[in-house]
Structures are given as structure tokens and as C-alpha cells.
């Protein structure tokens, strides 16, 4: 083991120990625990021995996203994120201390087709949750998951947290609205809420095959050319979902010690600028495949260039990702290979 690798291992071990000390027996609510980010967050919180409550919809679209053995160790509350009465009852009856709000309609194409449903979930759902938290005493930390899409299109990049939120299309607008509602509750009512803005999450447990990472891996495993809906030149910011989960927990832990973080937003990113075609080629290389992507150039109402600066999170929170982007991609490929050969 190199000195650098040994140092990273020590850092991860120390962080894990701190997590267990902070989270052990802490009553935590996760909304959207059956989604990609939510699933990884559930995994980390259970590993840290939190007392976990998950709000899930009665019909989960992808029941394999969160492994049954994880759900077995969490209390499930079935219902809609817009049900404020249910949220208040759950917060009170379970004595919730910390809330992670990651529930969302997260598919851009679906948002374009069904804007009202997207606004109801992503905007109304956010104010219902925050108002429920305002009505119930004892909530100490609330982390609301926004998105880099909330920034919209800017002439200057990378995105920084002091930039205006200029989203135009339904998904972008829904995330920008939820984002501003969260910061409003923090600044206006002193609610202990902070916002995360991350790029595109990738990682195992994502069974939405229309997304570029799982779709590419599935196609290559089947001996087919991976499909790129855009022209392949869109630049995106990607974050390994396990790093995203760890970042949310890190922010909550810091918010517990520093209430000045309430109403603040933070970008989290590997800070790797990569085109879609470069990402697909990287995955193919990791899989030992020479299959060239099929570029369809069908994407519409999407921002061409997006990437984040995580300088504020590094400087104010002492945050850094636990994995490199390549390490995350390798682990993701391994997860899907195993999943696709056993299902």
C-alpha cells in the first residue's frame, strides 16, 4: 500500500468512527429512501447505527433500488411527501432529530411530459415537509437535496453557490423553487436547514436504464452498443452516489455544531468536467469493451454545459469525496455486472 493510499484509508476509518459516534441511535427520517441517493443514504445511516425511519410511496417503482435487507432494519412509513399531516405525525411519534429530504421526481424527460406532477412533488412536497418541521419542536438538522440543474444556464462556470438560480424548464424550475423555499425557511424562521446541490448521481442500485451510466453498462453486458440521446458533447458533472450520501451526512453533522450554516447551500462534486461521450467511452474501457456508442442527438430542453465548484464545501465544511470518480465508476460496473448475472 502506498503512503497516499494508507493516508486515505486512515481518513476513511476516522470518518467512519465519527459517523458511528454521532449517528448511533439518532432518530433520522429519510424521504425518498427508495431512490438512488436515498438508497445509498439508507445504507450509510444503517451502517452508522442510526434509528432510521423512511417515508416511501405505497408503490415503489423500482423495489430493487434498495436491497430488502436494508429496508428490514428501517421503519417504513407509507405515504406521499405532500401529506403534511402524515409528516407531522411521523416527526412527532418517532421523535425525529434529523431529516434528509431527498424525495423527488428526478427524471428530466418525465418532468417535461408531466410538469404539474413534478411541481407537486418537488415544490409542494418540500414546503409541506419544512412546514411540518417548523410545527414540531426538536428537529435539529434538515438537509434538503437540490441539484446543479437549479442553476440553469450561466455564461460563467463553474457554478458557485452565490450564483442566481436561473432554471427555465420544469425540472430545473422545480429544483430551484424547492431550493429557495428551503433557504427561506432557514433564514426567515431559523429552521436548521441546509441545501445540497450535486451533479448527476451514479452508482449501483439505480434501475432506471434510461440513465446514461446504468444504460451503458446494461447495453455492453448484453453485447449492444450503448445509446446516447444527446449529441454526446454535453458536459456534465457526476458524483458517485456513495459520496453523495456521505456528503449529506457530513453536512448534517456540521450543521449540528454550527447553526450559522442554516439557510446555506453547498455544492458537492468530484469536480471532473466530462462530456457524455467521454463518460460512455470510459465505462466501455473499464468493461474491456470496444463497442462504440450510438449517438441519437434527440435530447431537447437540456443545458449543454454544467459543472460545479465544491470550494465552499471544502473550505467551510472540511469536505472531500471518499472516492475518485474512477473508483466510483469501477465499483458501479462491478455492482451491475453482479446484478445483471444474478437476475
Residue of 310, 263, 252 lying closest to 30 (CA atoms): 252
Which of the residues are catalytic? 171
User: Which residues of the chain fall short of a pLDDT of 70?
Assistant: 1-19, 58-71
Q: What per-residue confidence (pLDDT) applies to 21?
A: 87
φ, ψ (nearest 5 deg) of residue 90: -65, -45
Strand boundaries in 137-209, DSSP class E? 141-145, 193-198, 200-202
The C-alpha atoms of residue 132 and residue 124 are separated, in whole angstroms, by 12
Residue whose cell numbers read 447553526: 259
Give the pLDDT of residue 7.
Answer: 45
Buried b (16+ CB within 10 A) or exposed e, 280-295: bbebbebbebeeebeb
Q: Where are the alpha helices (DSSP H) in the chain?
A: 3-23, 36-47, 68-71, 84-93, 108-113, 115-119, 125-135, 170-189, 212-221, 241-257, 276-286, 311-317, 325-342
Specify the residue for cell string 458537492: 268
Per-residue model confidence (pLDDT) at position 342: 85
**Residue pLDDT, tens place only, 268-322:** 999 999 999 999 999 999 999 999 999 998 877 778 899 999 999 999 999 999 9
Q: Which residues of 304-342 are buried (b: 16+ CB within 10 A; e: fewer)?
A: eebbbbbebbeeebebbbbbebeebbeebbebbeebeee
Q: What is the pLDDT of residue 319?
A: 97
Residue 223: Cβ-neighbour burial (10 angstroms; 0-12, 13-18, 19+)? exposed
The reported pLDDT for the residue numbered 58 is 67
Number of helical (H) and strand (E) elements in the chain, helices listed first: 13, 13
pLDDT at 67: 53
**What local confidence, expressed as pLDDT, does residue 34 receive?**
84
Instruction: Name 194's bridge partners.
Output: 143
Instruction: Give CA–CA dist 329/201, Å, rounded.
Output: 11
C-alpha cell at 198: 450535486
Asked if 227 and 296 touch (Cβ cutoff 8 Å), the reply is yes
Query: Domains of the chain, with CATH numbers?
Result: 3-202+240-272+306-323 (3.40.50.720)
Q: Taking Cα atoms as reference points, which of 102, 144, 114 lies closest to residue 255?
A: 144
Amino acid at each position: 500500500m502506498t503512503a497516499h493510499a494508507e493516508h486515505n484509508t486512515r481518513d476513511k476509518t476516522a470518518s467512519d468512527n465519527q459517523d458511528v459516534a454521532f449517528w448511533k441511535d439518532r432518530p433520522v427520517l429519510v424521504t425518498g429512501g427508495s431512490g438512488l441517493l436515498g438508497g445509498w443514504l439508507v445504507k450509510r445511516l444503517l451502517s452508522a447505527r442510526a434509528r432510521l425511519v423512511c417515508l416511501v410511496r405505497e408503490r415503489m417503482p423500482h423495489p430493487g433500488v434498495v436491497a430488502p435487507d436494508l429496508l428490514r432494519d428501517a421503519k417504513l412509513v407509507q405515504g406521499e411527501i405532500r401529506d403534511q399531516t402524515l409528516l407531522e405525525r411521523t416527526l412527532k411519534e418517532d421523535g425525529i432529530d434529523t431529516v434528509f429530504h431527498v424525495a423527488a421526481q428526478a427524471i428530466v424527460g418525465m418532468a417535461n411530459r408531466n410538469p404539474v406532477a413534478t411541481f407537486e412533488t418537488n415544490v409542494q412536497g418540500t414546503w409541506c415537509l419544512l412546514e411540518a418541521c417548523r410545527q414540531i419542536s426538536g428537529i435539529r438538522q434538515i438537509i434538503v437535496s437540490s441539484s446543479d440543474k437549479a442553476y440553469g444556464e450561466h455564461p460563467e462556470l463553474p457554478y458557485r453557490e452565490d450564483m442566481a438560480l436561473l432554471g427555465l424548464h420544469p425540472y430545473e424550475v422545480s429544483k430551484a423553487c424547492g431550493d429557495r423555499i428551503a433557504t427561506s425557511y432557514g433564514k426567515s424562521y431559523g429552521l436548521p436547514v441546509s441545501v445540497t446541490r450535486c451533479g448527476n448521481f451514479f452508482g449501483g442500485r439505480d434501475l432506471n436504464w434510461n440513465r446514461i451510466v446504468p444504460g451503458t453498462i446494461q447495453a455492453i453486458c448484453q453485447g449492444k452498443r450503448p445509446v446516447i440521446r444527446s449529441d454526446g458533447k454535453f458536459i456534465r458533472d457526476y458524483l458517485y452516489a456513495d459520496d453523495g450520501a456521505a456528503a449529506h451526512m457530513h453536512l448534517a453533522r456540521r450543521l449540528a455544531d454550527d447553526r450559522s450554516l442554516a439557510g446555506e447551500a453547498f455544492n458537492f462534486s468530484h469536480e471532473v468536467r466530462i462530456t457524455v461521450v467521454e463518460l460512455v467511452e470510459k465505462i466501455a474501457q473499464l468493461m474491456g469493451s470496444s463497442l462504440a456508442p450510438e449517438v441519437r442527438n434527440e435530447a431537447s430542453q437540456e443545458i449543454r454545459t454544467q459543472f460545479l465548484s465544491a470550494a465552499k464545501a471544502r473550505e467551510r465544511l472540511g469536505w472531500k469525496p471518499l472516492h475518485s470518480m474512477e473508483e466510483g465508476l469501477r465499483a458501479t460496473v462491478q455492482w451491475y455486472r453482479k446484478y445483471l448475472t444474478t437476475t
